[in-house]
Structure 1
Amino acid sequence: MHRSYTPHLVTAAVIALSALYLLWIGRVPWCECGYVKLWHGETMSSENSQHISDWYTPSHIIHGLLFYAGLWLVARRLSFGWRLTIATVIECAWEIIENSDAIIERYRAVTISLDYYGDSVLNTVADVLAMILGFWLARVLPVWVSVALVIFFEVLTAWVIRDGLVLNVLMLLWPLEGVMEWQSGG
C-alpha cells in the first residue's frame, strides 16, 4: 500500500516558512529572558506567549478541534493529511496576522494585555503544534468528547485567567468595557 507523505511535508514546510517569516519581521526566536520553559502560567508577565506553552495553549487546541469539524463538513473528501495542511495554513496565517504590529497594538489598546509585544517564534510554532494536536484529537475522539473539551478549556481559562478563545475574539473585535473590567479583576 502506497502512502503519500506530501501533505505532511507541505504542512511542515508551511510551519517552517511561517517561523522564518516571523523571524524576518523581527519577532524574537524565544524569550528574551534567556531561558525556555515548557510552561509559563503567569499571564500578566512579559514572558507570556514567549515560552513553549501557557494559558493560551488550550485555545489553540480548540482551533484544531474546530478546524477538524469545519473541514469535515466542507472538505471531507480530502484526505486527513490535506485537511490538516489546510488547517495549518489557516493557523499559521492567524499567527502571522496576530503578530503584526497592527494586531499587537489592537490587543494592547482594547484588552488587558498591556505588556503584550507579540509571541516568540518558539511560542508560535508550539501554538501551531497545539492546533495540530487538537485536530488529531478531533479525529480520534467521539464528537461529544471534542465538544466537552472545547467547553472545558473555555470554562477553565475563563475561571483561571479571565480569558479564553471566545473572550479573546470578542475583545479583539468588539471590546466591552464590562468584560475588560472583569478581566482586570474589577
Structure 2
Amino acid sequence: MKSAATLWPGSRAWLATLALFVLAVATLFLMDRPPMCACGTIKLWHGVVQSAENSQHITDWYAPSHFTHGLLMAGAAFLLWRKWHLFGGRPARWALPIAVFVEAAWEIAENSPLIINRYREVTISWGYSGDSIVNSAADIGWMVAGFLLALRLPWWASVALGLFLELLALAVIRDNLTLNVLMLLYPLEAVATWQAG
C-alpha cells in the first residue's frame, strides 16, 4: 500500500495500542463478562457456530470478520492519509491505536445486554450470550493482524483477501461481516430463513 510506511505506528502509538487493549479487557472484566468458556478450556479453534462454545475461544468462524475489520480500517486510514499529510503526516502514525479504539468499543458494545438481545432477536445467533474475554481479546488481535497485513499488501490484495474471507464464511456458516451488519441494522426475513437452512 502506497504510504504504508507513514501509517506504520511509531513506539508511542504501539504503547497507546497496548494501553487501549488493556483498558478494553479491564472494561470487559468490569462488565462481569466470563473470562473464558464455561466448559473450562481455552481452544485455539472452535468451529461449531450453533453451540454454547461459539465466541468463547481464541478463534472461530467470526475471527475472519474481525481480521476484515482490520483490512477495512487500514483502507480507511490510507484514504485519510492525504488529509493527514497536510498536518505533516503525524496523525497517520496513530491510525493503529484509532483502529484498536474502534474495535475495542465494538467489543464492549457487542457484549452489552442491548446488542446481545439484538443478536438473539434478528440473527442466526439464537441463544447468543456474548463473548468470553479471551474471545474478545483475540478478536481485537485479529483486527490488528488484518490492519498490519493490509499495510504490507498491495491494495488489490487486501480487497481480494477481504472478499475471499467473506465468501468463505458465507459458504461455510451462511454468515459473514456483511450479513452480520445487515441483520443487525435492517433484518430481512428472507435472509434469516436462508441462514437458518
Normalised by the length of structure 1, the TM-score is 0.95
Cα distance in 1 for residues equivalent to 2:140 and 2:104: 7
Q: Matched residues in 1 for 2:136 and 2:96: separation?
A: 17
Q: Find out whether 1:180 has 2:192 as its counterpart.
A: yes
The CA deviation at 1:80 is: 5.8
**Aligned twin of 1:97:** 109
**Which letter maps to 1:89?**
F
Alignment equivalent of 1:158, drawn from 158, 165, 170: 170
Q: How does 1:1-186 map to 2 (within 5 A)?
A: 4-75=10-81, 76=84, 77-78=89-90, 81-185=93-197
Q: Is the 8 A contact 1:27 1:121 kept in 2?
A: yes
Task: Structure 2: state its 5+ residue gaps.
Answer: 1-8
Could you tell me whether the CA contact under 8 Å between 2:96 and 2:147 is conserved in 1? Answer: yes
Q: In the TM superposition, what whole-angstrom CA distance separates every residue of 1:95-124 from its partner, at most 9, and x where no partner exists? A: 111111000000000111112100001100
Identity of aligned residues (%): 52
Q: CA deviation at 1:6?
A: 1.2
Q: Which runs of 4+ in 1 moved over 6 A?
A: none
1:49-90: CA deviation from partner (whole Å, max 9, x where unpaired) = 000010000001100000001011114524664110100000
> Which structure is richer in relative contact order (CA contacts within 8 A, separation 6 or more)?
2
Contact 2:123 2:192 in 1 (8 A): yes
Call closer, same or farther: CA 1:71–1:78 in 2, change over 3 Å: farther
Looking at structure 1, the residues matched to 176 and 90 of structure 2 have their Cα atoms a distance apart, in angstroms, of: 31
Alpha-carbon distance in 2 for matches of 1:80, 1:134: 17
Counterparts of 2:123 and 2:102, CA distance in 1? 23
Paired position in structure 1 for 2:5:
none
Check conservation: 2:77, 2:92, Cα contact below 8 A: no
Contact 1:30 1:120 in 2 (8 A): yes
The structural deviation recorded for 1:170 is 0.3
Distance 1:150 1:81 in 2: 23
> Equivalent residue of 1:135, what SS?
helix
More displaced, 72-81 or 88-97? 72-81
Partner letter of residue 14 of structure 2? Answer: H
> What's the C-alpha RMSD, in Å, of the aligned pairs?
1.3
Cα distance change of structure 1 residues 90 and 177 upon mapping to structure 2, 3 Å threshold: same
Give per-residue Cα distances to partners, 1:5-43, cap 9 Å, x unaligned: 211111111011111111111100010100000000000
What is the rounded CA distance, in whole Å, between the counterparts of 2:10 and 2:148 in structure 1? 18
Q: C-alpha separation between the residues in 1 aligned to 2:167 and 2:154?
A: 20
